[in-house]
Amino acid sequence: MDLYIYYRVQAADAALFLTAVSELQHRLTRLYAVRTALKRSPVAQDGMHTWMEVYLDVNEDFAIKLEQAVAASQLPSFIDGKRHTEQFLDLSLCA
């Protein structure tokens, strides 16, 4: 299962937020050997960017570990509104 988590952050906080979310993802990679990606919308709307954290090929209990790590981090202080989580399964067929 892959997790895609998106939310909005003030464009003015982008540099500080990037440091905080990068540290979180590096820590999660070290602890749980997960592959991560980080994305951001190219243009701010109303002074906000949409950010997306990606966690690839994780097991079901990783989402709980992720939420605990986020709660213990600085991320919530930067995020405007809720973190929205979408789960996707890889349905690629082998040849």
Please write the tens of the pLDDT for every residue from 1-26.
Answer: 999 999 999 999 999 999 999 999 99
Answer for the pair 3, 65: CB distance below 8 angstroms, yes or no.
Answer: no
> Which is the CATH superfamily of the domain at 2-88?
Ribosomal protein S10 (3.30.70.600)
What pLDDT is attached to residue 33? Answer: 96
Q: What are the phi and psi torsion angles at 56 (to 5°)?
A: -100, 140
Task: Provide the terminal-to-terminal Cα distance of the chain, rounded to the nearest Å.
Answer: 21
Map out the domains of the chain as residue ranges. Answer: 2-88
Whole-prediction pTM = 0.91
d(CA 65, CA 49): 25
What pLDDT is attached to residue 93? Answer: 59
